[in-house]
Structure 1
Amino acid sequence: MVNQVKLIGAVVRSELRNIGKNLTPLLEVTLAGVDEVGEKRFAWYHQVSYLGKRAERLAELLAPGAGAVAVGQLEYRSWEGPDGEKRSRVEVKAAALEVFTPPLEHLDADSADNPRLCEGAVNRVTLVGNLTRDPEQGERGPVKAGLAVTEWVPGRGGKEGHEKAHFFDLVAWNGAGGTLKECGKGCPLLVEGRLVGESWEAPDGQRRYATRVEVARVIPLLRPAGGPAA
């Protein structure tokens, strides 16, 4: 399994709390940065979760405007809402989190006066998985597809280990979109891109949010002879 995400951005806000029976420290940090894609610039805001005793020490350093480096993986979570409708969310789980002081000239602020890293920001995702459906494209829009990335979860307390699937939505433009469009359901792929957040108003008036991977590079992979289908 390849499921890697790396974010370097400015701290917008952070919160430390304890979870579980053992009151394990959980640090949730919102990072902001600016991506340069060709001649265009796109601001991004992503929440990162960091679990463990070290989170308590890092929390003291994470003032708004500080720089932070988060390296980890994307985690897919799904549940059923009160209305019976299925909900899902993609989260950034950091295995490593470091703090630095960015030069003032590398920071700017958005309309709500939130800091963001405008120079030196990194928003990079690398995934290896299988397409869950045939890619689709509207008249002028991007190519859209779904990717399943399988993770082996070791057993605990005498229980057997099991496989866990993470599901991610892909969007691809230009050359990456053309390559993705040539692949079909079940095709194993390596994709590289950036994490993007979207929001819209649902028919019930509630605000909905989604996290997708905007693909910059697609590499179709070879499946070993006799290997399992997706």
Structure 2
Amino acid sequence: MSNASVNEVRLVGNLGSDPEVRTVGQGTQVATISIATTYHRGEDEFTEWHRVVLWKHLAERAQKYLRKGSSVYIAGRLATRKWQDEKGVDRYTTEVIAESMQMLGGGRQGNAGQGGDGAAGAAGEPKQDRRAPASQGADPAPQEQDAPF
């Protein structure tokens, strides 16, 4: 009998609201986001919502660059928490604990949210836009505005 197991989650979806960020312990930041993923079966479309928790540097990046409608890739693991409500009833929730995050598409300020190294807890900012500059005299391409999701 093998003792091997796997607890791995990969999501690509869009945020349903702005990240909720709070500080816990001795200044540790934690962010919670809700990501929608959609799949199709025949002509039917189904949307699934996922609660994702980001810690420390990932929480800081989420707060700085993610907004409602942002497209994001998350890799992490599932975790189930148990607590008691005010009536003493046991409650459970299953969340994705993010180990890495990559922002997809345009960011909050031009291309500030593009790229990213995807490393868990990466201290660096996302990669700079490395496209060739517009030719002399030509109007630069218009910047995409935040998607109205």
Fold shared per TM-score above 0.5:
yes
Contact (CA 8 Å) 1:31, 1:47: kept in 2 or not?
yes
SS at match of 1:63: coil
Q: Which amino acid aligns with 2:82?
A: S
Shift of 1:39: 4.3
**Correspondence for 1:198:** none
Q: Which amino acid aligns with 2:83?
A: W
CA RMSD of aligned residues (A): 2.1
Structure 1 residue ranges (4+ consecutive) displaced by more than 4 angstroms after TM superposition = none
**Correspondence for 1:42:** 46
Q: Deviations over 1:138-173 (max 9, x none)?
A: xxxxxxxxxxxxxxxxxxxxxxxxxxxxxxxxxxxx
Q: Which amino acid aligns with 1:79?
A: W
**Correspondence for 2:59:** 55
Highest RCO, 1 vs 2 (Cα 8 Å, sep ≥ 6): 2
Cα distance in 1 for residues equivalent to 2:42 and 2:75? 25
Q: Which amino acid aligns with 2:54?
A: Y
**Correspondence for 2:72:** 68
**Correspondence for 1:16:** 21
- The 1:82/1:55 distance shift into structure 2, 3 A limit, reads closer
TM-score by length of 1: 0.41
Shift of 1:62: 0.4
Q: Per residue, is there more strand in 1 or in 2?
A: 1
- The 1:42/1:24 distance shift into structure 2, 3 A limit, reads same
Shift of 1:38: 4.5
Contact (CA 8 Å) 2:14, 2:37: kept in 1 or not?
yes
5+ long unaligned stretches in structure 2: 107-146
Alignment of 1:1-230 (within 5 A): 1-13=5-17, 14-20=19-25, 22-101=26-105, 115=149
Cα distance in 2 for residues equivalent to 1:80 and 1:67? 34
Cα distance in 1 for residues equivalent to 2:83 and 2:32? 21
Contact (CA 8 Å) 1:24, 1:53: kept in 2 or not?
no
